């Protein structure tokens, strides 16, 4: 399968910050094969007239929990502990495979339509999530959120660890890396050292990544220091947790010592600005982490605490928050925010995407530059971060396959998903 995309302005996300008007991009199979301004010779299975739109790499949403889309707006207006204990946990206890499938599909529709081609997901029912992601056509790092509240632990028999090993055997590297399985500690505050040690060892042995919630709230961060005499980043380091490629979601309360350690170990921070604001968790020190050499990428977090999967919103928030809280409009540029949502996310997830260049995965999205909110365009990066919405996305190509175009989904039956959510999942969870 070969495709030629022409008549677009391509934002390459390369180190030279290239914005290429009149671009022609070709795709062979799952890879980008050429980028330039001259229309290449030869014939293509498919040609896409981009209509003068903006072509950019597909977005990387590096931290979410897709089935939680079913809980959009549920329990809003309550403090974190009350929200979790009285609303989210009782609903999660009613989830079953079919409801997770419906919630995941709903999330995937929203993600695809707003330009995401790769996610890092942390949840339960991961086999079902992997099946739905594969069918949707996008890429995912999937992590089985694992907690441990007892000292009685055996990695061989602990159910979540059994599930992890089955997931790795069945899915890790599936279809040339469409699915990667990451090891996962839900958080320092929801687990014990025996789990950290065992998962760190297993991840190192199997060359898996690691996905963890870290220092999201001040309480969590301070209580960890009280328990272990060190911050979550430093505590987990004692057990080898950061010795593999790792993503640490939130990092709102991390310290300069944490950043030095993260930079040394190559731990990526995932910034989730909308979720952090909505739950009153604070504003992550994105500028300081980047200055310390930490790779910082971007996520929406679950829709239950966002309440949207539109990563364009989080890009804008990321840039505005750093500028506003520092009284410095240049603190985090539009290009910086775009990098976080593309190439930095790709690095965090161990993936060859996030940039338009020959040899990279053909994960590409097109935005309608003729939309009123994108006129005029003095600077494409600025328009993408400060003016664009996910709804400006007109095409989503993941792994070389067009999976969405002009409101139409080619891999998911949206009407069936809506029916399944309305007639099965919502009645099951909410009565």
Pick the closer one to Zn ion by CB: 125 or 409.
125
Q: Is the bond preceding residue 220 a cis peptide, omega within 30 degrees?
A: no
Query: Minimum distance from CB of 236 to Zn ion (Å)?
Result: 16
Name which of 250 and 399 has its Cβ closer to Zn ion.
Answer: 250
| Size of site (CB under 5 A) for Zn ion | 1
Give first-to-last CA distance, the chain, whole Å.
47
Query: At its nearest, how many Å lie between Zn ion and the CB of residue 375?
Result: 36
332-335 long-range Cβ contacts below 8 angstroms, 24+ apart: 332/286, 332/287, 332/290, 333/381, 334/379, 334/381, 334/382, 334/384, 334/385, 334/386, 335/17, 335/381
114 vs 304, beta carbon nearer Zn ion = 304
Stretch that binds Zn ion, among 167-175, 294-302, 378-386, 419-427 (CB under 5 A): 294-302
Output b/e per residue, 219-255; b: 16+ Cβ within 10 A: ebbeebeeeeeebbbbbbbebbbbebbbbbbbbbbbb
To the nearest whole angstrom, how small is the minimum distance from the Cβ of residue 65 to Zn ion?
6
CB of 211 to Zn ion, least distance (A): 9
Q: How far is the CB of 302 from Zn ion (least distance, A)?
A: 6
Give the single-character DSSP code of 309.
-
Of 214 and 381, which CB lies nearer to Zn ion in the complex structure?
214
Taking CB under 5 A as the rule, which mask of x and - marks residues 251-290 in contact with Zn ion? ----------------------------------------
Nearer to Zn ion, 253 or 404 (CB): 253
Q: Is the alpha carbon torsion for 99, 403, 298, 230 positive or negative?
A: positive
**Hey, which bits of 12-127 come out as E strands?**
19-28, 31-36, 46-57, 59-64, 116-123
- Among residues 110, 182, 237, 301, which is the contact residue for Zn ion, using CB under 5 A? 301
**Residue found by looking up tokens 């929990």 in the block:** 65
Minimum CB separation of residue 63 from Zn ion in Å reads: 6
Specify which residues 395 forms β-bridges with. 366, 405
Q: Which is nearer to Zn ion, 301 or 313 (by Cβ)?
A: 301
- The residue range among 203-211, 299-307, 333-341, 363-371 that interacts with Zn ion, by the rule CB under 5 A, is 299-307
In contact, 412 and 109? CB cutoff 8 Å: yes
- Count the alpha carbons within 13 Å of 390 in the hemisphere toward its beta carbon: 23
- Quote the least distance from Cβ 208 to Zn ion, whole Å: 19
Does position 182 bind Zn ion by CB under 5 A? no
Q: Which is nearer to Zn ion, 301 or 336 (CB)?
A: 301
Q: How far is the CB of 241 from Zn ion (least distance, A)?
A: 17
Q: Which residue is nearest to Zn ion (CB)?
A: 301
Lookup result for tokens 């809003």: 76
- Taking the least distance from each CB to Zn ion, the nearer of 105 and 301 is 301
Looking at 82-90, 300-308, 321-329, 337-345, which segment touches Zn ion (CB under 5 A)? Answer: 300-308
Alpha-carbon torsion 173, 160, 430, 86, what sign? negative
Binding mask 23-62 for Zn ion (x = CB under 5 A): ----------------------------------------
Burial zone of 31 (CB within 10 Å; 0-12 exposed, 13-18 middle, 19+ buried): middle
d(CA 314, CA 324): 15
- Phi-psi category of residue 13: left, alpha or beta, with phi > 0 → left and psi -120 to 50 → alpha: left
Kindly tell me which of 187 and 285 has the beta carbon lying closer to Zn ion. Answer: 187
Residues that bind Zn ion (CB under 5 A): 301
């Amino acid at each position: 399968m070969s495709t030629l995309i022409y008549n677009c302005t391509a934002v390459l996300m390369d180190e030279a910050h290239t914005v290429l008007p009149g671009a022609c991009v070709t795709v062979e199979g799952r890879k980008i094969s050429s980028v330039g301004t001259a229309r290449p010779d030869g014939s293509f299975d498919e040609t896409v007239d981009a209509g003068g739109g903006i072509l950019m790499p597909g977005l990387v949403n590096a931290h979410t929990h897709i089935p939680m889309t079913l809980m959009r707006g549920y329990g809003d207006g309550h403090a974190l502990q009350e929200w979790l204990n009285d609303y989210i946990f009782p609903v999660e206890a009613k989830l079953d495979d079919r409801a997770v499938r419906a919630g995941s599909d709903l999330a995937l529709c929203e993600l695809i339509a707003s330009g995401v081609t790769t996610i890092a997901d942390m949840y339960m029912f991961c086999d079902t999530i992997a099946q739905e992601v594969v069918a949707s056509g996008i890429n995912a790092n999937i992590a089985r959120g694992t907690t441990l509240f007892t000292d009685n632990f055996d990695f061989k028999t602990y159910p979540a660890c059994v599930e992890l090993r089955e997931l790795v055997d069945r899915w890790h590297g599936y279809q040339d890396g469409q699915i990667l399985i990451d090891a996962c500690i839900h958080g320092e505050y929801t687990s014990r050292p025996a789990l950290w040690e065992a998962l760190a060892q297993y991840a190192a042995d199997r060359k898996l990544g690691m996905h963890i919630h870290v220092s999201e709230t001040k309480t969590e961060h301070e209580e960890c220091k009280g328990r272990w005499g060190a911050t979550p980043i430093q505590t987990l380091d004692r057990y080898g947790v950061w010795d593999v490629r790792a993503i640490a979601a939130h990092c709102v309360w991390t310290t300069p010592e944490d950043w030095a350690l993260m930079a040394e170990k190559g731990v990526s921070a995932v910034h989730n600005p909308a979720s952090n604001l909505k739950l009153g968790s604070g504003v992550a020190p994105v500028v300081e982490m980047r200055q310390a050499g930490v790779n910082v990428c971007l996520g929406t977090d679950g829709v239950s605490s966002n309440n949207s999967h539109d990563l364009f919103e989080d890009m804008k928030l990321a840039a505005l928050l750093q500028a506003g809280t520092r009284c410095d409009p240049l603190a985090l540029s539009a290009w910086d925010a775009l990098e976080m949502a593309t190439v930095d996310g790709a690095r965090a997830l161990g993936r060859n995407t996030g940039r338009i260049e020959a040899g990279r995965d053909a994960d590409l999205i097109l935005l309608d530059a003729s939309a009123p909110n994108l006129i005029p365009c003095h600077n494409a990066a600025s328009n993408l971060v400060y003016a664009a919405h996910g709804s400006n996305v007109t095409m989503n190509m993941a792994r070389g396959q067009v999976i969405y175009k002009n409101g139409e989904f080619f891999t998911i039956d949206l009407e069936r998903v809506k029916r399944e959510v309305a007639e099965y999942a919502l009645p099951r969870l909410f009565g």
